[in-house]
Structure 1
Amino acid sequence: MESFVDVFDLAKEICHKQLTDVAFNLWIRDIEPIQMDGSRVCLYVHSEFKKNIIEEKYLGMIRKALAEVMGFEVEVTILCDPPSVLSPAEKKAEAAMSNGDYEFTFANFIVGSSNKFAHAAALAVATNTTSSYNPLFIYGGSGLGKTHLLCAIREEISSQGRGANILYVKGEEFTNELINAIQNETTNQFHDKYRSADVLLVDDIQFIGGKESTQEEFFHTFNALYQDGKQIVLTSDRPPKEIKTLEDRLRTRFEWGLLADIQPPDFETRIAIIRRKAELLGLQIPDEVSEYIANRLKNNIRQLEGAVKKLNAYKQLAGSPPSILIAQNAIRDILNDNQPIPITVERIISEVSRTYGVSPADIRSSKRSAQVSTARQISMYIVREITQMSMSTIGEEFGGRDHSTVVYAIQQVEKNMKQDSRFKETVEDIIKNIRDR
C-alpha cells in the first residue's frame, strides 16, 4: 500500500504542474488512493459532487500521470463511499477517510518555534479546554501545516466519542455547494447541513472573498453557530485584515476570537519533519541526506514531505536506498519550482481573477458587469505597471481592445487609487503577490 501511495503522490505532482494551485488544491490534492490491482486503480473522494467534477474534467489527466509514473496505462475508478468488503489495505484507507487523514494528527505534527502557538491553540480547541478561542483563525503560507491542524482537530474530537457533528470544508467547496443548492432549489438542506454543525472547520476561507452570495450565506452560518456556542476554526493564507475582498462584517467576526500564524520551519524543525515522515514510511534516511534536503527546502513542509516520499518511491520501485545523489534527483523538480516564476499577462490575470472572484476568461471577454470591468481595468494597469508592455499590445492581450480603451482603463485605476485607500491597498497587494511568487 505504501508504494502505491508514493506512486500516486508522484502522479499528483505531475497533475499539479498542469493546474493552477487553486484547481489542484480543490480537486486533486485530497484524492485518496485505496487499492491497485494490476492495471486497475481505485481512488476515493469525500463527496459525490467532487467525484462528478473529477470524472468530468480531470480523470484523463490522472490516468496519463499514473501511466507516466508506472510505465503502463491503468483503468481508474473513483469512489465516494467506502467499499462494502475491505482488504487490510482498504481498511487502513477507510480509517483515514472516516477519521481524517491518519497522518494528520496532533501526534504526527512536528512542533517548533514557527508553529507552537498555532498548535497549542488548535489542541486547546480540540480538547475543549477553552471556549474563548472562537473562532480560531490560523493563517500562514501554503504547505506550512494549516490543513494538518484542521484534520488533527477533527481526529481528536472524533476520538473522544462525544458524537459531535464535525464538518470540514474548503472555502471553494462551500461556494460550489451553495451554487449547486441554489440551482437545485435545495438551499434549506444546505442551511440545515452547515447550521447544525457542532464544529465547523473551513480550510482556505480566503476563497469566499469577492463572492457576494457566498459571503452573505457564510455570514448567517457563522452567526447561527456562534450564537449557539459552536466551535468555528478557519484557515487562510493571510490574516483577515489582508483579505481585501472580504466584507468588513466578516472580517470583524473572524477577529473576534484568536488569530494564530504559522511561519516557515527553522532548520531543526525541518530535520524533525523529514525524520518523522521517513519513520511513518518505514524508511531509513542517513543524517547527511536529511541535512542536504533541509538545507535546500526551507519554506514549505509539503515539499519536505514530498521529497521523503520521492526517496521512498526510488527505494520501492528502483531498489535505490537514500543517498545524496538520489536526493539531488528527488528534489530537482522541487528546486526548479522554487525559482521565480516569469511574470506574464496570464499570471497577472490569474492573480486578479483570484482576488476578485471572476474567471480569467471573463476578464478577457466583452462582459461589462461592474466586478468584471474593475478586474479587467486593474489587470491592464498591472500589466502596464510591471511589464512596460505597449498600450496596443496590452489591448491585443485583452480581446483586441484598442489603444484608447487601455489608456482609459489605466487612468480609471489611477484615479480610484487616489480616491479610495481600500482600493489602492487591494491593487498594491495584488502586485506584491505577483512579484513575491
Structure 2
Amino acid sequence: MQNAQRTHKFSEFKSHLKEQFGPAVYDSYFQRMSLAEHGDDHVTFCVPTRFSASLISQRYAVRMREMWSERVQPVSRLSVKGAQELGSAMRGAAMVQETVPQAVNAAPAAPAPVAVPKAAPKPERPSFDAEGASTFALGMTLERFCTNETNSLAFRAAMKLLDTPNPMVTTVHGPAGRGKTHLLNAVGQEWLRRHPGDNVLYLTYDALMADMCEAFISKSYRELRTFLQNTDVLLVDDIQLLRGRKRTQEELDCLIDKLRAAGKRVMVASSMPPAQLAETGISQRLASRLAGGLSVSVGKPDLALRTKIARQFSAEAEESAGAPIPQRHLEFIARRCEDSVRELEGALGLIQVANEAKAELGQELDDDSMRKLLSEHMSKQKPAVTAEAIFDYTIETFGLSKDDLLSRSRKQPIVRARHAFCFAVRKLTDTPLTAIGSMIGRDHTTVMHSIKTAEILASTDPKFGSRISEIFDEFDRD
C-alpha cells in the first residue's frame, strides 16, 4: 500500500472509530493515535503512553481488528503500543499522523456490537531484545557503572535488589548528576536479562503524570492500578518532583505497598534522603514508607572515580572512532569537573568531538584549545546557599519586588512568597528564626507560623509546591 493511500485509509479508519465508539471515547483514546507499522497480516498503532495502550488493547482491540479487516485490509493481528515502548523499533518507520476530517462524505457505518473479552488480558510484557529494552538508556548498564568508595554502597544496594529474594524498598539519593538514573536503568536492564519474561517499569515524573492524566480523563484509575500492579520491578526516578501532587503520591504509595506485599521489587531515586522528602511537599506516609526501606547516598565523585570514568570513556571512544583522548587531557577534565558525572561526560564528549575533528586533518588538539573549549562548556556555579541569595531568588520566582516582600501587604501572592522564603531559609541554612524574621520585618513567632503554613501548602497546592521545588533545586546542596 502506497504511503498516500495508507494515509487516506488511516484517516478514514479513525473517522469510523469515532462513529463506532462515540466522540467521548475517541477523544480519550484515539485522537492522538498514529499508525506505526502495517504489514501483510498485521498492523501496529502507537499511542502516547503504555497505560493508554493497555486500556485500548483490553477494551477495543478486538473490534478494531474487525473494523480494520473489513475496511482496510484483512489482518490476523492488531497491536497497540505506547510511544516509549516502541522506542527504537519506531525509528525509521513512517509514522502516519492524521487528524479526522470535519465531515465524512461516506454514510456512517451501522454501529456493530463491541466484543468484550471474557477476561481482560494481562498487559503485554516488554521483551528485552525488542521493544522493552528501548525504554531504557542502553548505555546505562551495570558494566559501565564505575564504582569506588564514594558510590559503592549505592551499587551494593542495587545488586542486593537484584539478588535477594523479597528485598526492601531501595532508595538511592543525592544531587543531580551523581549516577542515580544510570543505576536505575542498569537494574532494569539487568533484571530483564536475567528474567526476559518479566515486566519492568521505569517511571519518570513525566511518564507517571501522563498516565495519571490519562486515567483522570478516561475515568480509569482502576485500570491504571491493575496495569501498574502487574509490574515485577518498579523503578521510579526523581520522586522529589511529585511535591504537591497529592493524588499521585497516594496512588504511588498504595502501589509500592501492593508490590511489596506481593514480593515485587521497588527502587526509587531522589535528590534527598526520604526523611527530608516530607519537609518539601512529599506526604509523610510516602516518605516514611521509603525511609523504612534501604536508603543509601550516592556520594560526590572524587578525583579517582572521575579519572576512572574519563579513562573508560576514552577507551570506548578509541574502540569506536579510533581517536583516544590524550591522557593529560583526561586528567585535566577530571580535575575540573568536580561535582557531576553528567557534566564530566558532557565535557569528555565535547573534547572527543574536537579531538576527532583535528585527527581528520592530521593534527592534534593542543592544550590551549582544549582548555578554551572546556571553559566555555563548564556550567556556571550555583549561588552560595545564604538567606540573602534565597531572598533574591524567591522574589524572582514569585515575580515580586523586594519592597513587596518587606511590605505589610496581606495579598495572597505576597504572603505566600514570605511563607516560601521562611521555609526555604530554615530548611537550607542554619539561619536562626529571629534572623529570618529581621530580614522581612517580622518576629520569630510569625516566621514559625510561615514555616508550618508552607509545609501544608507544599503538599496541598501544586502551584506553591512547584515554586518551592524551584527554590530547593536552585540551592541543592551535597
The question of a shared fold, defined as TM-score above 0.5 by the shorter chain, is answered with: yes
Asked if 2 retains the 8 angstrom alpha-carbon contact of 1:181 and 1:187, the reply is yes
Greater displacement, 205-214 / 412-421: 412-421
Indicate whether 1:378 and 2:419 are aligned: yes
Amino acid at match of 1:48: P
- What is the SS of the residue equivalent to 1:101? coil
Partner of 1:288 in structure 2? 328
Aligned to 2:312: 276
- C-alpha spacing 1:83/1:117, structure 2 compared with 1 (3 Å): closer
Query: What does 1:46-195 correspond to in 2, within 5 Å?
Result: 48=48, 81-83=87-89, 97-98=133-134, 100-126=136-162, 128-132=163-167, 134-195=168-229
Q: Distance in 1 between matches of 2:425 and 2:141?
A: 47
| Whole-Å separation in 2 of the counterparts to 1:351 and 1:214 | 25
Whether the aligned pair in 2 keeps the contact of 1:378 and 1:410 (CA below 8 Å) is: no
State which of 191, 215, 218 in structure 1 corresponds to 2:252: 218
- Return the alpha-carbon distance in structure 2 between the equivalents of residues 369 and 98 of structure 1: 49
Aligned counterpart, 1:333: 376
| Counterpart contact for 1:267–1:298, Cα < 8 Å | yes
Q: CA RMSD in A?
A: 4.4
Choose which of 330, 340, 347 in structure 2 pairs with 1:300: 340
Partner of 1:313: 353
Partners of 1:293 and 1:164 lie apart in 2 by: 41
TM-score using structure 1 length: 0.62
Shift of 1:304: 0.8
Kindly state the Cα deviation for residue 291 of structure 1 after the two structures are TM-superposed: 1.4
Q: CA deviation at 1:327?
A: 2.7
Identity across the alignment (%): 22
Aligned to 1:5: none
Give, in whole Å, the separation in 2 of the partners of 1:429 and 1:413: 23
The Cα shift of 1:190 comes to 1.6
Matches within 5 A, 1:233-252: 233-243=267-277, 244=279, 245-252=281-288
- In structure 2, what residue type is equivalent to 1:234? V
In structure 2, the gaps of 5 or more residues are 1-45, 51-82, 94-128, 400-409, 429-439, 460-464
Contact kept? 1:99, 1:155, Cα under 8 Å: no
Compared CA separation, residues 130 and 369, structure 1 to 2 (3 A)? farther
Counterpart code for 1:378: H
CA deviations 1:349-384 (Å, max 9, x no partner) are 68789xxxxxxxxxxxxxx999x8874442466899
150-159 vs 203-212, greater mean Cα deviation: 203-212
Q: Aligned partners of 2:373 and 2:353: how far apart in 1?
A: 10
What's the secondary structure of 1:112's corresponding residue?
A: coil
Partners of 1:350 and 1:180 in 2: CA distance:
33
Q: What runs of 5+ residues in structure 1 fail to find an aligned partner?
A: 1-45, 51-77, 88-92, 354-367, 387-406
- Give a deviation string over 1:318-350, Cα, whole Å, max 9, x none: 546444223313322343423538958784268
Alpha-carbon distance in 2 for matches of 1:200, 1:290 = 37
1: CA distance between counterparts of 2:370 and 2:224?
A: 47
Residue of structure 2 equivalent to 1:38: none
Displacement of 1:85 after TM fit?
Answer: 8.4
Instruction: Determine which structure has more spread, i.e. the larger CA radius of gyration.
Output: 2
Q: Distance in 2 between matches of 1:259 and 1:202?
A: 14
Counterpart-to-counterpart distance in 1, 2:91 and 2:333: 41
1:204 and 1:237 in contact (8 A); partners too: yes
Residue pair 2:205, 2:241 contacting (<8 A) in 1 also: yes
2:316 counterpart letter in structure 1 = L
Alignment size in residue pairs: 324
Q: Does 1:414 align with 2:414?
A: no
| Shift of residue 131, structure 1, vs aligned partner | 2.9
Measure the CA separation in 1 of the matches of 2:296 and 2:147.
14
Compared with structure 1, are the counterparts of its residues 322 and 305 closer, same or farther at alpha carbon in structure 2 (3 Å cutoff)? farther
Alignment check: 8 A CA contact 1:417 1:424 kept: no
Q: Tell me if 1:264 matches 2:300.
A: yes
Aligned letter for 2:334? A
Change (3 A) 1:269 1:419: closer
3-state DSSP of counterpart to 1:207:
helix
Per-residue Cα deviation, 1:248-303 (whole angstroms, up to 9, x for no partner)? 11111102221110111111111011111222222412221111111111110001
Structure 1 segment 388-403 matched on structure 2, within 5 A = none
Instruction: State the 1:246 CA deviation.
Output: 1.6
In the TM superposition, what is the alpha-carbon distance from 1:314 to its structure 2 partner? 1.5
Determine if contact 2:419/2:450 at 8 Å carries over to the other structure. no
Distance 2:294 2:156 in 1: 12
Distance 1:303 1:47 in 2: 34
Partner letter of residue 247 of structure 1? Answer: S
CA distance in 2, matches of 1:422, 1:157: 38
Structure 1 CA distance for aligned equivalents of residues 179 and 441 of structure 2? 44
Name the residue aligned to 1:73. Answer: none
Are residues 339 and 416 of structure 1, via their aligned partners in 2, closer, same or farther at CA, if it must alter by over 3 Å? closer
- Pick the aligned partner of 1:348 from 374, 377, 394: 394
Specify the SS of the correspondent of 1:177: helix
Conserved 8 A contact 1:266-1:298: yes
Instruction: Give the drift of 1:141.
Output: 0.9
> How many Å apart are 1:188 and its aligned residue?
2.6
SS in 2 for 1:337: coil
Q: Secondary structure at the match of 2:333?
A: helix
Separation of aligned partners in 2, 1:85 and 1:145? 27
CA contact (8 A) 1:143 1:302 kept: yes
Q: CA deviation at 1:223?
A: 1.3
| Cα deviations by residue, 1:188-215 (Å, 9 ceiling, x for unpaired) | 3321221110000000111122211111
Does the CA contact (< 8 Å) of 1:289 and 1:322 recur in 2? no
